[in-house]
Amino acid sequence: MALYGGRNRRLRQSERLMGEDAAVFQLSPDPADARRRAEAAFETWRRQHGRQLPRTARIDHVGSTAIEGCETRGDLDIAVRVPEDAFGAARDYLDRTHAADTQAARRKGYAAFTAPGYALEVGVQLVVMGDEQDRLLDFRDALTSDRALLARYNALKRAYRGREMARYREAKAAFIRDILDT
């Protein structure tokens, strides 16, 4: 389903570079537009899947498109946080309706998925509340509340534009660890 009109050819071309198989890290040429499209996709996803997940699930838009002023690839990251006793039911539902994210290892209390049928890449991270992986909101909130920290994160993203995706992911992971471990 297309969540935006075909009005911006350059943006669509950029999105083809941003897929899971892309070897090169690229940024959206229009982060504000990418954020609007991601927000629309998030609301659509929540309407489609929120009622099928356990009632105790907390669904949040996380990642760069959730943060005003953040550079972004133009993808959407969704956190689905559940109590431990609801994890199995949530995982079973997402297994039936989504593809497993092959970039993320499954383990007890954590699973990652990709959502089919969207005009942008949609990643869904299912995590048990309080688990060591349950830090997505912490990072989003840190960037939202600290403009200097956001500027550093944007600088990191710009420094890796056009470089190998794997190198960017390594640098990003180190940055996130540094922020969350302080």
**35: pLDDT confidence band, cut at 50, 70 and 90?**
very high
Per-residue model confidence (pLDDT) at position 6: 32
C-beta of residue 167 within 8 angstroms of C-beta of residue 30: no
Per-residue model confidence (pLDDT) at position 5: 31
Residue 50 pLDDT > 80 = yes
* Cα 155 to Cα 73: distance, rounded to the nearest angstrom: 14
How does pLDDT run across 59-114, given as a tens digit for each residue? 999 999 999 999 999 999 999 999 999 999 999 999 999 999 988 889 999 999 99
* Cα 171 to Cα 92: distance, rounded to the nearest angstrom: 32
C-beta of residue 10 within 8 angstroms of C-beta of residue 29: yes
Domains of the chain: 14-176 (3.30.460.10)
- For the entire predicted model, the pTM comes to 0.85
Q: How far is CA 123 from CA 8, 85, 104, in A?
A: 23, 23, 11
How does pLDDT run across 145-159, given as a tens digit for each residue? 999 999 999 999 999
Per-residue model confidence (pLDDT) at position 124: 98
